[in-house]
Structure 1
Amino acid sequence: MRPSDEELEELASSVSLKLVEGDAISLEGAYAYKIPISLPCKVYILDCIEGREVASKPELVGEEFLKANYNAALKAAKLVVDLLDPDTPKLLLHILRGSPGYRLHDALRSIGVDYREIWVRPRYLIGGFRDHRERRIEVVYESYRDLQGLEHVECDLIVADTIATGTTLSASLSRVLGKLKSLGLTVKDTVVYGFMSLEGIRNSLDAMSRLGQRVFIALEDVTALAENMYDMPLYGVDETTYARRRVLRSIGGITVLEAFRGMVASYAPGMDQPGDWSERQPLLYTGENNEKGDIKGHLKRSLETLRRLRPLTRRAEWYREWMDEIFSAREKAITEAITRINT
């Protein structure tokens, strides 16, 4: 069953999912929507088939995951080009290990955008998987070797990363902007692309306070942020809140009706949209070597979360019978993906 727009609007209201209207920009197979937001920055929601699949299907992993991200990034790259001055030199910041998986660097290169690369690897010292409440970060690797010969100029900075709390991005930006200043380089405009929460955007702005235009391009929605400060659902029950306090709390992000309409038939409520982003990738660059992504681990954790969310969703006041079909479809697809890895 595909819900009507009226039913979607009613559902969104019930789960605190904010549906907004945005100025639409056609990007050949996708739309970007500039949405109203009470922050000193510009926020666009990029809605495309590949973004919907990455966000709603945790079983999408490995090379197929990278392919989908590349096709989504091609749309994002066109928007980036439209937003930035073509005559301003471009710097592209990789936040290791996961950010290259967004494939924005490949997409920009494929449409002829020239840029210099910066590599930074931040690491959490406290807190672990699905628990970023206690957050302290150190930068364990950084490289600016591609900036040789570039000095005393104003540049634009482009970043692709997942922004849950904004802590990782803020730490990386603070480190990079300080280094650029020491090299005689200044940053004019900044564009950030990926999955991102409203809290993540808000917190990241502190590190960008002295920059010019600050643009965030969010895949499909500005996500909700769960109590563990890690999971980034479109909407649904906060599974972490229930696990800790036995409270059935519903959370929702911000999106446009067009994106919600496109995602609702395949997205299992409450699931983390980016998932364990790094581990969905077949190979990860650490700054020193390559590591294999723990694809099987991501799939198993996703399956466990899905199975915990299903009975909780049935208890929610906003539960609809068609949601059970989505949980069944996702469970079947994830189980099959695990089986393929085991054989």
Structure 2
Amino acid sequence: MRLTDEELLELASNTGIRLLEGERLDLGCSVAFRVKLGVPCEAYVLDSPEGRDLAAKPELVGEEFLEANRRLASTAARLLSEELEPDVPKVFLHVLRGSLGYRLHEALKSVGVELCEAWIRPRYVKGGFGDHRTKVIKIVYEDFREVSRVADMECDVIVADTVATGYTLVKCLQRLSRALEKLGARLRTLVLYGFISLTGLNAVLEAAGARRAVAIAVEDFTALASNMYDMPLYGVDEAQHADTGGLRSIGGATTLEALRGLAPHYAPGMDQPGDWSERQPLLHAGDALERGDIAGHLRRSLEALRRLWRLTRTVPWYRPWMDQVYRARERGLSEALARLGYGR
């Protein structure tokens, strides 16, 4: 299915998607757009077949999910290797459990970038899965031993993670910042990569205090639903509907070219990263390895998809082609459950 630019412009206008202008950078099979968000950050939208699949297809799980991330990360690493100063030491902060799934650390190493790896695991004591409105976080694991290599130096800090409210990442960066201060090290450039909401980006930039910041968003800088968890490209805020019965539409920010590739496959309202940790077969939890709940992710995604399908058909911007998208995603999720032996 192809949508005309006229249809895409109408969609953006009706749903609140902010269309960004940007310098186009060709990166092989992928494209990066250097865009202006009006925040103190060098912002990029990374558009590729793998990014579209990760954002639009919650049925992409397991080893196929990891392979898509590897290919996408290789493009991001190529971009970063040109943007960052090679002589500045780099600390890569792994936010456990899910952030390793982005595979950016592997991609950077493959292009010759040397990393000091730091590990931290935050856990929600209040709030948590599916709802981040009540935010109490405890750090249950950290390993900053390699950070000693940047003592008394300026360093770049790189994070590949899903940034919704930004609250979790701010807490993790504050912990790392204290470790750097004890070593006499100073933050030069902060790099963010992954699914990033506009709200979360602002929160992290405000708290980090880096001299320079670079953000590379997969396909779009997302909207953020009222549960402070779901990160749609656009759609009905299902959480608010559940609370109040209202039908509020929300939209993120991207380029027309990226929207052109993503909209025909993206079911309105769906959380683009989904249960990022649970889409992975095996998770580093700090002092142990854990299996991702792939079946749980698929089932919850299918339930959310069907609820959003019903809601979307009641809003003024609904168009018949959206049924085709929902139907494709429903089929993909059902087939993934059957293929993996989980049933429907």
- Please confirm whether the aligned pair reaches a TM-score higher than 0.5, indicating the same fold: yes
Whether 1:69 aligns to 2:65 is: no
**Distance of 2:7 and 2:328 partners within structure 1:** 22
Query: Is contact 1:283-1:293 (8 Å) kept?
Result: yes
In structure 1, give the amino acid aligned to 2:251: G
Paired residue for 1:262? 261
In structure 1, give the amino acid aligned to 2:20: V
Tell me how far 1:146 sits from its aligned partner: 2.0
Query: Is contact 1:59-1:337 (8 Å) kept?
Result: yes
Q: How does 1:7-26 map to 2 (within 5 A)?
A: 7-26=7-26
Runs of 4+ in structure 1 over 6 Å off: none
Query: Is contact 1:170-1:206 (8 Å) kept?
Result: no
**Distance of 2:289 and 2:304 partners within structure 1:** 28
Tell me how far 1:105 sits from its aligned partner: 0.4
**Distance of 1:190 and 1:80 partners within structure 2:** 12
**Distance of 2:203 and 2:13 partners within structure 1:** 26
Q: Deviations over 1:214-272 (max 9, x none)?
A: 11111000000001000000011111111111111111000000110000111100000
**Distance of 2:212 and 2:40 partners within structure 1:** 9
Give the 3 Å change call, closer, same or farther, for CA 82–271 of structure 1 in structure 2: same
Paired residue for 1:305? 304
Tell me how far 1:213 sits from its aligned partner: 0.8
Whether 1:140 aligns to 2:137 is: no
Tell me how far 1:30 sits from its aligned partner: 1.1
Tell me how far 1:149 sits from its aligned partner: 4.4
Paired residue for 2:291? 292
- Specify the SS of the correspondent of 1:172: helix
In structure 2, give the amino acid aligned to 1:335: S
In structure 2, give the amino acid aligned to 1:294: D
Whether 1:216 aligns to 2:215 is: yes
Q: How does 1:83-102 map to 2 (within 5 A)?
A: 83-102=83-102
In structure 2, give the amino acid aligned to 1:241: Q
Aligned length in residues: 342
Paired residue for 2:2? 2
Paired residue for 1:171? 171
Query: Is contact 2:93-2:118 (8 Å) kept?
Result: yes
**Distance of 1:129 and 1:145 partners within structure 2:** 30
**Distance of 2:41 and 2:150 partners within structure 1:** 28
**Distance of 2:303 and 2:7 partners within structure 1:** 29
Unaligned runs of 5+ in 2: none
Paired residue for 2:252? 253
Paired residue for 1:233? 232
Paired residue for 1:187? 187
Deviates more, 1:288-297 or 1:82-91: 82-91
In structure 1, give the amino acid aligned to 2:107: A
Aligned Cα root-mean-square deviation (Å): 1.0
Paired residue for 2:317? 318
In structure 2, give the amino acid aligned to 1:299: L
Paired residue for 1:333? 332
**Distance of 2:40 and 2:328 partners within structure 1:** 40
Paired residue for 1:49? 49
- Specify the SS of the correspondent of 1:88: coil
**Distance of 2:149 and 2:271 partners within structure 1:** 42
Give the 3 Å change call, closer, same or farther, for CA 252–31 of structure 1 in structure 2: same
In structure 2, give the amino acid aligned to 1:128: G
Query: Is contact 2:277-2:283 (8 Å) kept?
Result: yes
Unaligned runs of 5+ in 1: none
**Distance of 1:127 and 1:198 partners within structure 2:** 21
Tell me how far 1:207 sits from its aligned partner: 2.2
**Distance of 2:191 and 2:149 partners within structure 1:** 24
- Specify the SS of the correspondent of 2:192: strand
**Distance of 1:116 and 1:53 partners within structure 2:** 31
Paired residue for 1:155? 155
Query: Is contact 2:117-2:147 (8 Å) kept?
Result: yes
Q: Deviations over 1:107-135 (max 9, x none)?
A: 11111111110001111111021100011
Q: Deviations over 1:8-40 (max 9, x none)?
A: 001110000111111111111111111111211
**Distance of 2:172 and 2:89 partners within structure 1:** 20
**Distance of 2:192 and 2:146 partners within structure 1:** 20
In structure 1, give the amino acid aligned to 2:316: E
